[in-house]
Structure 1
Amino acid sequence: MTDYLHLNKANWDQRAPLHAASSGYATEAFATDPAHLSEVVRFDLPRLGDIAGLRGVHLQCHIGTDTLSLARLGARMSGLDFSPASLEQARGLAQRCGASIDFVESDVYAADQVLPAGTFDFVYTGIGALCWLPRIEAWARVVAALLKPGGRLFIREGHPMLWTVSETREDELVIEYPYFEHVEPMVSDDDRSYVEIDTALTATRTYEWNHGLGEIISALLRHGLQLTALEEHDSIPWNALPGRMVVDDAGEWRLAKDRWRLPLSYTLQALKR
């Protein structure tokens, strides 16, 4: 497990240029339409509120489409990611769009060492980020360290119940993976990605971990954050369970049958006391 950072970084370094070229990230739409926002941030708009003029940091920002979207809403944004290839794409997209965004390379657990601690009005974390972290406690500490007093954490993330479900059993929903944080990782070996890519990956081995909703909230509480909102959703912005989902015009995927059976994502907000 000690090589998880090396293996995961190799995987994301390969994904980055392929994602930037994929229709799933719509980078050309950002370049041609100055009002374009990512589907993820458009979903978040009713809950984000007015962020104009606020200083924000997007942890695990990948190629920066959500970071750029937050900047287009008026926030002064920084983005942090451990993948240099992802940051290369993020910086290139921001430059094409004339956006001033500070992108920093770092493991998320060291974010408060490479960014000015205690200065951010909000920390943003998007879909599919927390599953790459072996320990949620250390992440919560970093979030608290980055925020100024009264600052806000905003997360929309895949629901930990979704992460427990087998991706291969198309006939029914079968719990296959841990719900609670577990020392040993869930190991994947897959040459595909969650958006359409035109080249198979060769750095295919990755390590992931689940974190229960109670574990996430409790870690934040222990580090001085106060929960202000928690909403569970029956949709998620990718085809997380192939063969069992349908997509709407906004790019949100839901169970094709009896969608009340499983929460797919959640939005959580918390304030630093």
Structure 2
Amino acid sequence: MTDYREVNRANWDERVPAHVASPSYHVAEFEDPQYLSEVVRFDRPRLGDISGLRVVHLQCHIGTDTVSLARLGARMSGLDFSAPAIDQARSLADRLGLPVDFHVADAYDAIEVLGAASYDLVYTGIGAICWLPDIERWAQTVAGLLKPGGRLFIREGHPMLWALDSAPEHPVVKYPYFETPEPIIWDEGGTYVETDVEFTTTVTHEWNHGLGEIITALQQAGMVFDSLVEHDSAPWNALPGLMAVDEAGEWRLTHHPRRLAATYTLQAHRPA
């Protein structure tokens, strides 16, 4: 059987240069010492004060959100399975003079690489857990990374959004809402950011995870569920032709946006 990690890593490795060059990631704007990524700006009211906290960003990609969290005063680690992505993340942090500790590793290997009970906060962002086949194993990893009293913060694409077929004028439910043993296999040449690059490694393996599955997995891993906030917007054009962007870079349905939960923010903690 094909290793989903090898398939997905090849795809993400090829995306890295296009993402660094894309205006959608705003890499050049980080030269302004006050600049934060649009994602972290959205998260900030719910994140609260993270200054001085030991924080790990799982599946951090090219590190734009990671360095943004460092600018908020967190002592950051970043982890991603793509070596080219981590190279770019290290380069960005070094250029900005931010002491971020980056590691190349699969998310499921994070405890082995980073150490058990080492972090005050585990942060993960949009489009991360869909690349992982087993949400229970992910939850055990998160719980294992956290110190007693430590917290998980995740903003992610809503499983209802992931279940939609975005091709028709009126999207229909086409893909599983719940986790499945076999992946959803995609063969698409594009990416989610603005770029003219045509990719050659186009196959990916992905999984959806229902909200109930995520919360239950965290509880079974010993975490205490704290809050769930559903949002009608996403930081990328998830349904092309049907969404409009606001001044903060968030996309929502052009007409009747309250019909769709596009993303969610979930928080949980490990008991002290």
Q: TM-score, normalised on structure 2?
A: 0.98
Query: Quick one: which amino acid aligns to residue 13 of structure 1?
Result: D
* Aligned length, in residue pairs: 271
SS at match of 1:109: helix
Deviation digits for residues 124-145 of structure 1 (CA, Å, limit 9, x no counterpart): 0000001000110100000000
**Superposed displacement of residue 2, structure 1:** 3.5
Q: Secondary structure at the match of 1:196?
A: coil
Aligned to 2:24: 24
Provide the secondary structure at the position in 2 that maps to 1:251.
coil
Structure 2 Cα separation of the partners of residues 2 and 269 of structure 1: 34
Question: Any stretches of 5+ residues in structure 2 without a counterpart?
Answer: none
Cross-structure match for 2:149 = 150
Secondary structure at the residue paired with 1:46? helix
The one-letter amino acid paired with 2:21 is: A
Cα deviation digits, residues 36-85 of structure 1 (max 9, x gap): 00000000011000000000000000000000000000000000000001
Alignment root-mean-square deviation, CA? 0.8
**Alignment deviations for residues 177-209 of structure 1 (CA, whole Å, 9 cap, x no partner):** 000000111111111110012311111000100
Q: What is residue 218 of structure 2 aligned with on the other side?
A: 220
In the alignment, what sits opposite 1:104?
Answer: 103
The corresponding residue for 2:171 is 173
Residue 200 of structure 1, aligned match among 198, 201, 204: 198
Which residue of structure 2 lines up, in the alignment, with residue 43 of structure 1?
A: 42
Displacement, 1:88?
A: 0.7
Partners in 2 of 1:146 and 1:266 — Cα distance?
22
Residue correspondence of structure 1 range 234-249 to structure 2 within 5 A: 234-249=232-247
Structure 1 residue 227: Cα displacement? 1.1
Give the deviation of 1:173 after TM superposition.
Answer: 2.5
Q: Does the alignment pair 1:188 with 2:186?
A: yes
4+ runs deviating over 3 angstroms: none
Q: What's the TM-score once normalised by structure 1's chain length?
A: 0.98
- What is the aligned partner in structure 1 of residue 129 from structure 2? 130
Q: Secondary structure at the match of 1:19?
A: helix
Aligned counterparts of 1:223 and 1:3: Cα–Cα separation in 2: 26
Partner letter of residue 28 of structure 1?
A
Which residue of structure 2 aligns with residue 73 of structure 1? 72
Partner AA of 2:154 in structure 1: I
Q: CA deviation at 1:3?
A: 1.8
Letter in 2 for 1:10: A
Partners of 1:113 and 1:219 in 2: how far apart? 20
| Fraction of identical pairs, as percent | 63
- Name which of structure 1's ranges 251-260 and 143-152 shifts more when overlaid on structure 2: 251-260
Gaps of 5+ in 1: none
What is aligned with 1:14?
14
Letter in structure 2 aligned against 1:14:
E
Q: Which residue of 1 aligns with 2:59?
A: 60
Aligned to 1:4: 4
Cα deviation per residue 1:75-117 (whole Å; 9 max; x = unaligned)? 0000000000100110111111111101001110110000021
Deviation at 1:267, TM superposition (A): 0.3
**CA deviation profile, 1:155-180 (whole Å, cap 9, x unmatched):** 0000000000001012x120000000
Partner of 1:110, secondary structure, is: helix
User: CA–CA distance in 1 between the matches of 2:117 and 2:185?
Assistant: 35
